[in-house]
Amino acid sequence: MISLIILSHSKKIVEGIKELAYQMVKDTNIYAIGGSSDGTIGSDYNAMNDAVIDALSKGEVLVLFDLGSTVMTMQMVIDELEESEKEKIKIVDAALVEGSIQAAVDIEIGKDFSEIIKNLESLKLGKIQ
């Protein structure tokens, strides 16, 4: 099973994207992680770590994000994983809303991990250098 983790500095943004995705899919695991633990704008290492651990227990994990520091926080989470776990997680540089919807639909219809990642290439924004 492939899970989708969407990251933003804003909880409202990821909750909205997740709500939108669930208008088109119903069985895809989507983790929406946004904002800091105190409810302000920011990134929450612990929430990301918890989502990654849970998602990896189900299979492969695709991560989409809004801005640079959210991906840096996720990279710190990934750096703590075992090598075998690192191989099952992929951060993708794509438009957050459109990429999340595309990925969720692709997961729902059963496309494989590499095919989903390839389909997101057209939505690349150059957020990761």
Q: Can you list the domains of the chain with their CATH numbers?
A: 2-123 (3.40.50.510)
Query: Is the pLDDT reported for residue 127 higher than 90?
Result: no
Helices H, strands E: what count in the chain?
Answer: 6, 4
What is the arithmetic mean of pLDDT over 87-114?
A: 97
The predicted structure's pLDDT at residue 51 = 98
Percent of the chain, pLDDT > 90? 93
The predicted structure's pLDDT at residue 129 = 66
In sequence order, what E strands does the chain have?
2-8, 29-34, 60-65, 89-91
pLDDT, tens digit (0-9, with 9 covering 90-100), for 9-62: 999 999 999 999 999 999 999 999 999 999 999 999 999 999 999 999 999 999
**Who contacts 72 (Cβ-Cβ below 8 Å, separation ≥6)?**
43
